[in-house]
Amino acid sequence: MKIAVISDIHGNIYALMKTFEDIDLQKVDLTICLGDLVGYGPHPNEVIALIKRRDIPCLKGNYDASVVDGDFTFIRNNSVNSFALPWASNEVRTSNKYYLSSLPTFLDYDINGVKIKFTHGSPNTINEYLYEDKENTKNIMENLKEDILVCGHTHIPSYKKFNNKLFINPGSVGKPKIGRPNITYAILNIDENKNVDVKFRELEYDYQKIVKDAKMLNFPNSLVASYESGTE
């Protein structure tokens, strides 16, 4: 079975459309979204509409939860978020806030006998950062009941084996932190013999479109520049 995993779209409709174009070419059996549909980018409602139209199983991200709350519940209170959070909370339609609030915080799948847990941050909380070389990640992987943990939130693609467990992060569709303005997502292929193959896809897209839209809406310069640099 072939699964595409996307995460951290953050209101970037152009990146999401490009991602789905590529996913369609890869002929996957299932696409799963790890959350953070909104926040930062200028097209949160359009992103939600496209995810719903494709009937994508989706998790609640920390920015999704904070936009619903209208407060810095699960995100950092910094200069960019002091603009981006109230903007998104005001922009996201009430019906879409209801959709975001109804999303689960984890999904469990058993595929060909391989058990997979999908989360946004960590199995403990939606806003915990799991980096492959950090102690908290090691502790979580040691106690993981499933065979694979797939999480987002860091915006950095990762793959690491912890003994007989796999740790996977697909990176970010709409707000990369890889030093390039490119989309990243992951494809997991699990065969009938429980063999797991993981590939990362990195895609270029016309990021100048979102730069133009953000400038027209008077987004902060640092936020606009992050789409060009692929940094936070």
Strand order in the sheet with 30-33: 30-33, 2-6, 183-190, 196-203
Q: With a threshold of 0.95, does the pTM exceed it?
A: yes
Domains of the chain from N-terminus onward? 2-104+173-229 (3.60.21.10)
Q: pLDDT at position 232, please?
A: 87
Contacts (Cβ under 8 Å, ≥6 apart) of 99? 48, 52
Three-state secondary-structure class, residue 210 = helix
Best CA proximity match to 156, nearest among 128, 139, 179: 179
Residue range 106-138, pLDDT digits in tens:
999 999 999 999 999 999 999 999 999 999 999
Pairing of strands 165-169, 158-162: antiparallel
Q: pLDDT at position 193, please?
A: 95
CA distance 78 to 96: 25
CA distance 97 to 80: 21
Q: pLDDT at position 136, please?
A: 98
> Could you list the mean pLDDT of each consecutive 10-residue stretch along the chain, which spans 232 residues?
98 98 97 98 98 98 97 94 97 98 98 97 97 97 97 98 97 98 98 96 98 98 97 91
